[in-house]
C-alpha cells in the first residue's frame, strides 16, 4: 500500500511555518514547524482522523527534519512511501 501525505504551507514567519496536511487533495489538519530543528506540533486534526495522528505525525516529522537540515521550507512538500 502506498502512503502519500501532502503538506501545503499556509503561513510563515522567522521562527516557523504552519502547514496543512492530508492525503491526496483532502486537508485533515494543521501542524506548526519549528525552523531551527524541524520539530512538529499538531495544531488541529479533523475528528474523523484524530485516532490516526500517531500514523501521520512521525512521517510529517521526518519530512521537516530534512527540510530544517537544508534550511528550506517550501510552499508544498510531501511524504511518499
Structure confidence by residue, pLDDT tens digits, 45-57: 999 999 999 999 9
Q: How far is Cα of residue 30 from the mean position of the Cα atoms in its chain? A: 7
Distance CA 16, CA 39 (A): 10
% of the chain with per-residue pLDDT over 70: 100
> What pLDDT score does 1 carry?
76
| pLDDT in single tens digits along all 81 residues of the chain | 799 999 999 999 999 999 999 998 899 999 999 999 999 999 999 999 999 999 999 999 999 999 999 999 999 999 999
Distance CA 21, CA 18 (A): 10
Domain extent for 58: 4-80
Distance CA 8, CA 43 (A): 14
Other CB atoms within 10 A of residue 60 CB: 23
Count of domains for the chain: 1
For residue 11, count CB atoms less than 10 angstroms from its CB and return exposed for 0-12, middle for 13-18, buried for 19 or more. Answer: exposed
> What pLDDT score does 24 carry?
82
Amino acid at each position: 500500500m502506498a502512503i502519500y501525505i501532502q503538506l501545503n504551507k499556509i503561513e510563515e514567519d522567522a521562527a516557523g511555518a504552519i502547514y496543512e496536511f492530508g492525503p491526496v487533495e483532502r486537508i485533515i489538519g494543521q501542524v506548526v514547524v519549528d525552523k531551527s530543528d524541524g520539530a512538529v506540533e499538531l495544531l488541529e486534526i479533523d475528528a474523523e482522523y484524530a485516532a490516526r495522528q500517531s500514523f501521520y505525525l512521525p512521517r510529517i516529522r521526518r519530512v521537516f527534519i530534512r527540510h530544517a537540515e537544508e534550511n528550506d521550507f517550501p510552499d508544498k512538500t510531501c511524504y511518499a512511501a
